[in-house]
Amino acid sequence: MKIASQVNDSRLSDALVTQVNAVNVSARTDKSGGGYYLDFSGLEGLSTDCLARHPLELDVAAPDGKNRLFFHLYLEHGRMSFMELSSTGEWPEDETEIRLDVG
């Protein structure tokens, strides 16, 4: 998970990778064409004493080459709570065109 690799604290990064392998997406709420929110579940049994003060952020170039895509991962008590995905333009219809390892 690219966003977890942006974390300087290796304990939190490792905890996030573990959570990604266990997480379920419980809801997706669209944001009027410019992205969406993902709510997570399935992490109740996982705990970590690592805390992040701000959302973890990742941004990449949109497939159209003009806009940027933003990923904000929000944590509560060291657990993934929800992710916000947004764009400076329309969200790409074909998400397979998004390449998080760019740059």
The contacts of residue 32 (CB under 8 Å, 6+ apart) are none
pLDDT (tens digit per residue) in 15-56: 888 888 888 999 999 988 789 999 999 888 776 666 666 788
Label residue 94 by pLDDT band (50, 70, 90).
confident
Query: One-letter amino acid identity for 70?
Result: F
CB 28 within 8 A of CB 38: yes
Give per-residue pLDDT as tens, 50-67. 666 678 888 888 899 899
Instruction: Return the domain boundaries, the chain.
Output: 2-91
